[in-house]
Amino acid sequence: MAIKTFKEIIDNKAYRISTKDREIFEQGTLQSFFGFSDSDMIEFIVYDANDNQLPQGEDGVLARYIPLSSENIKDYFLVADGTKFQAFNFPNEYFIDAERLINEAGYNNGIFKTQITLLNKRVGFDNLNEKLWIKEISPSRTEVKLLPIKNETSKKTDLLTRFNIMVEGQSFRDDILPYIGEFIEKTDSKEIDTFIRKTYGQKWYNKLVSEFGVRGFDELMTRIHKKFAEAMKYEFLNRSSYIGDANYGKKKPTKESLSLSKESVYKVAQRILIECVSLYLPQRTIKLKTTQDREFDRSIDAVNTIIRTRESDVVIQPNVPGIEVTKEKPREDKKVIEEKANLNKAIREEVPKELPIPKFIKENPTKSKKKDTFKSFFRRRGGKRPSFDLNTNVINQPSRPVTNQGGGGPRLNDRS
């Protein structure tokens, strides 16, 4: 092994950065697990006896990356007796066929040193179109600003998608999957019985068992939990987890998402649990039709002894109630309505739109402001009209004589 390329080795773990720098990088990071994703890979590097890095294969690459697929596991991993590769349950140690890797690198004889690293792919790859480049280093040299390479080829890869997940603070699917298995294994079906009794009470528990006809509650919970764990594993291994579906347990045609949140895991677990309960919980017998009972009840049999009668000579005449009847106004025929509308329209058309304002030929005479002599005369005499002699055209007033005071004819001597 090329020990010179590592800064220090602690408990069979080699580090390429110093302890001081590693303390900065390890702040706030999640624990990485190997073997939970197809994007995990093996990095293989071979050296000669003098620690010179050797090229591999026809391309002459200095580092070879082998994806962790099902076929590669069978080809490059040596499985010890009793070791099983199961979902969410991988071994802590791996035995890798280094001899096969050296032969495939193009070397058969000699003394070689090998370096094998288990990698979790998050952002970037050892490819010209899937790399990140350093834009800026902080003055304290504790932070770096990384940006992805953007070109037509990189847009076809998952580089930008992975970069956005990291920048937006989301969780990678590979970082959440290990905890799902731990969550499933920690769920104990035997504790469900006790939890229901404490939460809802013994009375509610007894009613649940009796109404649904549950014979063995612990056995029922065991079956539900077993199916729940199976469906959860199918869901997060990119298999169909819908219970009752024809494709249950089969591989999904779509590719699994790179990101995964705790909220989505909770919603999926809730949906699967409801489907498991609906599958195994006995259905209640519900009568959809009304049935008749021909037997007499005790209260009906004792009607003659319960109800008493009483007679009287008083006759009460009930008043005939008045009933209000609402008559609907007859609706006119559409033809009659149209005729009325046409008639109104014709009348409006006959009336001229503008009529001329009338004008006087002469100006309107104004009322005289002079006092009326006869009205003042009558008011002084109590409002009585004097008598006139039609023959002489002279007013007869015996109380006051008429005198001729010179010229102008007779005058009324009404001044004192």
Quick: pLDDT tens for 61-83.
999 998 887 778 778 877 655 55
Token pair in block for residue 287 = 């009568």
Query: How does pLDDT run across 94-119, given as a tens digit for each residue?
Result: 788 889 999 999 998 899 999 888 88
Q: In this model, does residue 7 exceed pLDDT 80?
A: no
Distance CA 166, CA 195 (A): 39
Q: Who has greater pLDDT, 30 or 93?
A: 93
Q: How far apart are CA 213 and CA 220, in angstroms?
A: 11
Q: Which pLDDT value is given to residue 354?
A: 67
- Are 279 and 227 contacting, i.e. CB atoms less than 8 angstroms apart? yes
Query: Is the pLDDT assigned to residue 392 strictly greater than 60?
Result: no
Q: What pLDDT does 4 receive?
A: 63
Higher-confidence residue: 267 or 180?
A: 267
- What mean pLDDT do residues 295-311 have? 64
* pLDDT for res 404: 46
Choose between 161 and 87: higher pLDDT: 161
Model confidence band, residue 415 (pLDDT cutoffs 50, 70, 90): very low
For 331, the token pair is 């609706």
Tell me the pLDDT band of 397, cut-offs 50, 70 and 90: very low
Q: Roughly what angle, to the nearest 10 degrees, separates helices 262-280 and 173-186?
A: 40
320-354 pLDDT tens trace: 777 777 777 777 778 888 888 888 888 877 766 66
Which tops the pLDDT comparison, 22 or 387?
22
Q: What CA–CA distance (Å, rounded) separates 159 from 152?
A: 12
Q: How far is CA 158 from CA 118, 164, 169, 175, 316, in A?
A: 20, 10, 17, 17, 96
pLDDT exceeds 50 at position 257 = yes
CA nearest 87: which of 225, 218, 180?
A: 180
* 17-26, 167-176, 297-306: which is most confident: 167-176
Q: What is the pLDDT of the chain when averaged over all its residues?
A: 77
* pLDDT at position 414: 43
Q: By the 8 A CB rule, do 136 and 74 touch?
A: no
What local confidence, expressed as pLDDT, does residue 409 receive? 46
Question: Coil, strand or helix: which one is 273?
Answer: helix
**Structure confidence by residue, pLDDT tens digits, 260-297:** 998 999 999 999 999 999 899 887 767 677 777 676 66
Residue 256 has pLDDT above 80, yes or no: yes
- Look at 104 and 397; give whichever has higher pLDDT: 104
Q: Which residue has the higher pLDDT, 304 or 28?
A: 304
Instruction: Give the per-residue pLDDT at 46.
Output: 93
pLDDT class of 55 with cuts at 50, 70, 90: very high
216 token code pair: 């063995």
Q: What percent of the chain has pLDDT over 90?
A: 16
Asked if residue 35 has pLDDT above 80, the reply is no
- Which of 102-116, 359-373, 394-408 shows the lowest per-residue confidence on average (mean pLDDT)? 394-408
pLDDT at residue number 91: 63
Residues contacting 77, CB < 8 A, separation 6+: 94, 95, 96, 97
Per-residue confidence at 136, pLDDT binned at 50, 70, 90? Answer: very high
Span 108-131, average pLDDT: 87
Element (H, E) at 324: none
Residue boundaries of the structural domains of the chain: 31-121, 123-170, 176-280
Is pLDDT above 50 for 412? no
Give me the pLDDT at residue 86, please: 55
Looking at per-residue pLDDT, the higher value among 379 and 12 belongs to 12
Other CB atoms within a 10 A radius of the CB of residue 16 amount to 11
DSSP-derived 3-state class of residue 302: coil
* Helix, strand, coil share (%) of the chain residues, nearest 5: 35, 10, 55
